[in-house]
Amino acid sequence: MAQAVRTTCAYCGVGCGILATREGERGLAIAGDPEHPANAGRLCSKGTHLGETVGLEGRLLLPMIGNRQASWNKALDLVARRFRDAVANHGPESVAFYVSGQLLTEDYYVANKLMKGFIGSANIDTNSRLCMSSAVSGHLRAFGEDVVPANYADLDAADLIVLVGSNTAWCHPVLYQRMLAARAARGTKIVVIDPRRTETCAQADLHLALRPGSDVALMNGLLAHCRRQGALDEGFLRDRVSVPDDFWTSLEHDQDLWSVARACDLAPADLARFYDMFVAHPRTVTMFSQGVNQSIRGTDQVNAIINVHLASGRIGKPGAAPFSITGQPNAMGGREVGGLASTLASHMDFSPENVARVSRFWAAERIATKPGLKAVDLFRAVGEGRIKALWIMATNPAVSLPDAGRVREALAACPFVVVSDVMETTDTSVHAHVRLPAAAWGEKDGTVTNSERRVSRQRAVLPLPGQVRPDWWIVTEVARRMGWRQAFAYERPADIWREHVRLSTYQNEGARRFDLRAHAAMSDAAYDAMEPFQWDPAPFVDLCFSTPDGRARIVAVAQMELGEKLRDWPMNLNTGRYRDQWHTMTRSGISPKLARHREEPLVEMNPRDAMNLELIDGDIAEVVTPQGASMFRVAISDNQRVGDLFTPIHWTDQQSTGGRTGLLARALTDPYSGQPGFKSTPARIKRV
Ligand code: SF4
């Protein structure tokens, strides 16, 4: 029998370790890795059924120019020439990459280096922009750097876990199992704050179904309550935290329990119970996810949570932290290499010192000196004809971006679109001039970083089929053909890993918070054998933060409306995931077992709304927004608040004629992070 290979799950940011054993030509037997610290052998349904998704049906196995097969040489030469010509004729800002949290850190690193250090633009953004960029902005404002101040072990040590905007039971199931185990062992309390009653609420001590978008009011009210109860950590505030002038005076305005309950549309008794639970439990973790981040006030919502933790001293101690949980397997790895348009490289911004430092390190030919276009703006620029050449890697923006109809029009009009993907046909790749066959999970080799900053290896178990190549190789070959052979002289992922670590070490030189020298000098054999590890298990040494004065910052944030209620659009459309599907279902949709959980896209609505609109369970209804319309089967449930609709994000043109949530969502974004507000689009619904 073949030996099991230790690798990491392809899906969510929990980053579970997997033992994958080859069975026959393309088969894989999957088991949880009992040695991996993220999951200790546990897996959810998506991870368990990964073996059903590694077949070759629907795979892109050869480079394609238009609808014709091409050699790698011809396809890569064409990509390099079109990007070089666009830069020569229209400048570096005329080209863009749109990448993905599915890429491995090594893939991300070379794509970021090519765009920012050699093409000379920062127009590389990632689908992680849609997932957790508001958390990044909130961390930067509060801590002076993008650092997640929590470990999974904090969930074991907490006495109270507050889940805000997170259907953890479905979206991060193994962490949810871990919370339930802690609860069984030591009675941990769980509070869920979410407009919807989700599966996560089933085991909760309290569910607060707050009015959508009222999170800042709720958290400011909690902070005011802590102050009234004498539950602030005055010593920590004095020694470690900067508080804006007049912060406490302005916070007191309208912060009595009844005013907050009205603002959040909650029963005052429920609100009081939550506030009292928080005060009573110094070991509290507040874990938040897309319900907080995917808002046009996402960054303020993140800071409202962090403010409470800073002021009450619930940070930097076991079981006490604000904890942003990421959606994708390698959203954190992308952050670490700087693969967002708003960072330069390795957590560095575009300050003149950082630009000079990275330029020296890369021996950059032409380095970007300012942030590039964030995802929504990037595709707007494509639509306006400002982007002449676009390369999309491992993501499906024609489905997943908001106002996806506009994205499709933009792609159709773009002079040159390259898509590297594992699948032959996606809603995005139908617009590609060149399609490049990329390695899939199980075939590629490199590292990913999970939500607690733990780096793990993804290892190849299966051979590369057809002419498939890893993403890092494809980018490297294009860079060499654009003239930068020496700067992209990588032969294997370990070469890229060592360079990435050396750049991080270089950046970290002044702080010396963690010592990466051993990793920077790692041999190929040591890289192959790498065990899961955290660069910085205790992110705040002596609670000294990365701000100029070493103090964390409380940020004054006020509750604001997400938008006026419009007469023609009386309902609010909220969007999210199903338990057994992943993003646009290009991989998880292949598994027959996963498909059984939800066979079609549903629009969930409250019975009162359904009665008013004369809809019954099982009707087909059209959900209409100013951006578009799509059909769904109606599911009536009092899990939904009156006035709210919920639709899943997964379905595409390849899978069904309805259920296109991306066509409906509006493309408004948070002013700091650029993250779209997927949770609130004005909508209406009618029977078909
Ligand atoms: Fe994979 Fe996430 Fe499930 Fe773990 S919890 S098995 S990482 S999808």
| Cα 519 from Cα 526, distance rounded (Å) | 9
User: Distances in Å between the alpha carbon of 161 and those of 16, 93, 438, 554?
Assistant: 21, 45, 40, 22
Torsion angle of the four alpha carbons 613, 598, 654, 60, in this order, in degrees rounded to the nearest 10: 160
Q: What is the 3-state secondary structure (H, E, C) of 78-122?
A: HHHHHHHHHHHHHCHHHEEEEECCCCCHHHHHHHHHHHHHHHCCC
* 629 alpha carbon – ligand 1 mean position (Å): 32
Tell me: pLDDT of 541 over 90: no
pLDDT > 90 in the chain, percent:
85
pLDDT at residue 589, rounded to an integer:
86
Tell me: pLDDT of 591 over 90: no
* 648 alpha carbon – ligand 1 mean position (Å): 19
Tell me: pLDDT of 39 over 90: yes
| Cα 186 from Cα 206, distance rounded (Å) | 18
Arithmetic mean of pLDDT over the chain? 94
Tell me: pLDDT of 418 over 90: yes
* 121-130, 250-259, 445-454: the lowest-pLDDT one: 250-259
pLDDT in tens, 458-504: 999 999 999 999 999 999 999 999 999 999 999 999 999 999 999 98
Are 339 and 112 a contacting pair, CB within 8 Å? yes
Mutate to test the pocket of ligand 1, among 7, 9, 577 (most ligand atoms within 8 A of CB): 9
Are 97 and 129 a contacting pair, CB within 8 Å? no
The verdict on the CB of residue 38 being under 6 Å from ligand 1 is: no
* 57 alpha carbon – ligand 1 mean position (Å): 23
pLDDT at residue 399, rounded to an integer:
94
Are 328 and 101 a contacting pair, CB within 8 Å? yes
**Smallest Cα–Cα separation from 399: which of 134, 628, 64?**
628
Task: Over range 207-220, report the average pLDDT.
Answer: 96
* 8 alpha carbon – ligand 1 mean position (Å): 9
pLDDT in tens, 43-59: 999 999 999 999 999 99
- Place 359 in a pLDDT band, splitting at 50, 70 and 90: very high
| Cα 162 from Cα 160, distance rounded (Å) | 6
Report ipTM (2 d.p.).
1.00
How does 244-265 read in b/e, with b if 16+ C-beta sit within 10 Å? eeebeeebeeebebeebbebbe
- Place 563 in a pLDDT band, splitting at 50, 70 and 90: low
DSSP for 441-473 reads TTT--EEEE-TTSEEEEE---SPPPTT-B-HHH
CB atoms within 10 A of CB 599: 9
Task: Over range 359-364, report the average pLDDT.
Answer: 96
**Smallest Cα–Cα separation from 203: which of 238, 241, 163?**
163
Task: Over range 335-358, report the average pLDDT.
Answer: 92
**Which protein residue's CA is at the shortest distance from atom 2 of ligand 1?**
12
The verdict on the CB of residue 594 being under 6 Å from ligand 1 is: no
Spell out the domains of the chain, with CATH numbers in brackets: 5-53 (3.30.200.210), 64-128+329-490 (3.40.50.740), 133-325 (3.40.228.10), 571-687 (2.40.40.20)
Mutate to test the pocket of ligand 1, among 33, 36, 39, 588 (most ligand atoms within 8 A of CB): 39
pLDDT in tens, 309-337: 999 999 999 999 999 998 888 878 888 88
- Place 107 in a pLDDT band, splitting at 50, 70 and 90: very high
The verdict on the CB of residue 14 being under 6 Å from ligand 1 is: yes
* 44 alpha carbon – ligand 1 mean position (Å): 6
**Residue 348 per-residue DSSP state:** B
Tell me: pLDDT of 511 over 70: no
**Residue 297 per-residue DSSP state:** T
- Place 518 in a pLDDT band, splitting at 50, 70 and 90: confident
pLDDT at residue 221, rounded to an integer:
97
Task: Over range 629-638, report the average pLDDT.
Answer: 96
Taking each continuous run of H as one helix and of E as one strand, the counts in the chain are 26, 26
pLDDT at residue 562, rounded to an integer:
65
- Place 2 in a pLDDT band, splitting at 50, 70 and 90: confident
| Cα 86 from Cα 634, distance rounded (Å) | 47
- Place 507 in a pLDDT band, splitting at 50, 70 and 90: low
The verdict on the CB of residue 64 being under 6 Å from ligand 1 is: no
Identify the residue whose tokens are 């963690």.
514
User: Distances in Å between the alpha carbon of 506 and those of 104, 214, 362, 370?
Assistant: 22, 42, 12, 21
pLDDT at residue 641, rounded to an integer:
97
Tell me: pLDDT of 514 over 70: no
pLDDT at residue 652, rounded to an integer:
85
pLDDT at residue 103, rounded to an integer:
96
**Which protein residue's CA is at the shortest distance from atom 3 of ligand 1?**
44
Task: Over range 616-627, report the average pLDDT.
Answer: 96
* 10 alpha carbon – ligand 1 mean position (Å): 8
pLDDT at residue 653, rounded to an integer:
77
330 against 421, higher pLDDT? 421
DSSP for 485-497 reads TTTT---SHHHHH
> pTM for this one?
0.96
Task: Over range 157-168, report the average pLDDT.
Answer: 97
| Strand locations in 171-240 (E) | 189-193, 206-208
Quick one: CA dihedral 568, 629, 428, 298, positive or negative? positive
